[in-house]
Amino acid sequence: MKRFDLIRCVLLLLTLACTPLMASAAPVTLDVEGKISRTNDPDHTIYRISEAELMKLPPHTITTSTTWTPKSAFTGPLLADVLRLVGAHGDLVELRTLDDYAYTVSISEAERYGAILAYSMNGTRLKISNFGPLFLIYPRDAYPQELTGSVADAKFVWQIKALVLK
């Protein structure tokens, strides 16, 4: 076999091996750093919330439309409960995403709306290709005036991988 063919063959096998992973629900791990009082890494800088820990928090459901999705039931823990888990003591939280978007929201505002870190929509886990693994959802339909438009849209952050308390 020519060297070129061999490389092509290896690439094809790699693609096939990875496809089921990409198609399945994204495993959820959420790294939290900044102004937190609990850490679980050797350097004591980050608390990595495992999927099991996230699933142990009380699930809350917000039924709402968003700019990108028709009226749906989103389920996940309250952002407030996630922040309590890591002993957060900042006023702001920066949300970092797999597509390298970063947006900072007010914690008191998110808590006032009961915002959730949704891991499922209509009972199905969010895939990375579908706003997963975590999508910050506010009850937009209940507060259409305040939560519609481009300023509000920026707060609906998807593909969340990390939080930074400020």
Query: Residues interacting with ligand MTE, by CB under 6 A?
Result: 68, 97, 99, 101, 150, 153-154, 156-159
Residue 97 interaction partner, one of ligand MTE, Mo ion, none, beta carbon < 5-8 Å per kind? ligand MTE
Q: Which of residues 142-161 bind Mo ion (CB under 5 A)?
A: 154
Tokens of 109: 């505002």
Distance between CA 48 and CA 93 in Å, rounded?
16
- In 3D, which of 4, 6, 54 has the Cα closest to residue 28? 54
Give the three-class secondary structure for 105: strand
Shortest CB 157 distance to ligand MTE, Å: 4
How many residues lie near Mo ion (CB under 5 A)?
1
Residue with tokens 């096939």: 16
Shortest CB 118 distance to ligand MTE, Å: 13
Residue 156 interaction partner, one of Mo ion, ligand MTE, none, beta carbon < 5-8 Å per kind? ligand MTE
- Does 11 help bind Mo ion (rule: CB under 5 A)? no
Contact 74, 156 (CB under 8 A): no
Residue 11 vs 154, nearer CB to Mo ion:
154
Residue 60 vs 155, nearer CB to Mo ion:
155
Shortest CB 150 distance to Mo ion, Å: 5
**What sign has the CA pseudo-torsion 143, 133, 45, 57?**
positive
CA distances for 48 relative to 27, 39, 65, 153, angstroms: 13, 8, 30, 27
Shortest CB 152 distance to Mo ion, Å: 10
Tokens of 47: 């608390």
- Of all residues in the shown chain, the one whose CB is closest to ligand MTE is 101
Shortest CB 159 distance to ligand MTE, Å: 4
Distance between CA 151 and CA 79 in Å, rounded?
20
- Summarize as ranges the residues that interact with Mo ion (CB under 5 A): 154
